[in-house]
Amino acid sequence: MDTMRELSAGGVVFRRVAGKAEVALISVKGGKVWALPKGQREEGENLARTAHREVKEETGLDGRIIAKIGHVEYFFTFKAEEGTRRVFKIVYFFLMEATGGDITKHDAEVIDVRWFPVDEAIKIMKYDDEKGIIRKAKRLIEETEEGR
């Protein structure tokens, strides 16, 4: 079985409410999974542009990139007309401070978008690798608060 490679990017969008950081998560897979917004890079896009576009599409939010957080890598398979396909996917995540937008303006592939306190977001997220990205984002957010 051939393995295809996909490159994606996404973001951890945060805001401060009463001095506490909250992050925006998307609900997918029939509303059963809370995850980070992300998607495939389009032709000619750099990773930061992909992250901006995907965050806007999936959450309705605009954001300013603060830092690159890191990446996750995984394999998955899916059934296609030509048989089962295997994909190696790399997703780069950026820390983004919310600058505007409306979480009710997300696209149709997303069931819901909500703001969560960072620690609560880590608890309810489905994927361990994305939980790790949120933990790194939490440290970066704390560092940006110290620098203010």
Percent of the chain predicted with pLDDT > 70: 97
In contact, 7 and 13? CB cutoff 8 Å: no
Contacts of 115 (CB under 8 A, 6+ apart): 15, 17, 22, 23, 24, 103
Residue with tokens 């919310």: 98
Res 3 pLDDT > 90: no
The backbone torsions φ and ψ at residue 107, rounded to the nearest 5 degrees and listed phi first, read -80, 170
Rounded mean pLDDT, 46-67: 96
Q: Among 125, 104, 129, which Cα is nearest to 116's?
A: 125
Residue 59, both tokens: 């959450």
Res 91 pLDDT > 90: yes
Give this prediction's pTM.
0.91
Rounded mean pLDDT, 104-130: 94
At residue 29, the pLDDT reads: 83
Beta-strand pair 3-17/33-35: unpaired
CA distance 21 to 8: 25
The backbone torsions φ and ψ at residue 88, rounded to the nearest 5 degrees and listed phi first, read -100, 120
User: Residue 126 sits in a domain of what CATH number?
Assistant: 3.90.79.10
pLDDT tens digits along 65-89: 999 999 999 998 888 888 888 999 9
In contact, 98 and 24? CB cutoff 8 Å: yes
Domain that holds residue 62: 3-146
pLDDT tens digits along 120-136: 999 999 899 999 999 99
Domain count, the chain: 1
At residue 148, the pLDDT reads: 53
pLDDT confidence tier of residue 37, bands split at 50, 70 and 90: very high
How many CB atoms are located within 10 Å of the residue 28 CB?
17
- SS3 label, residue 47: helix
Rounded mean pLDDT, 139-145: 87
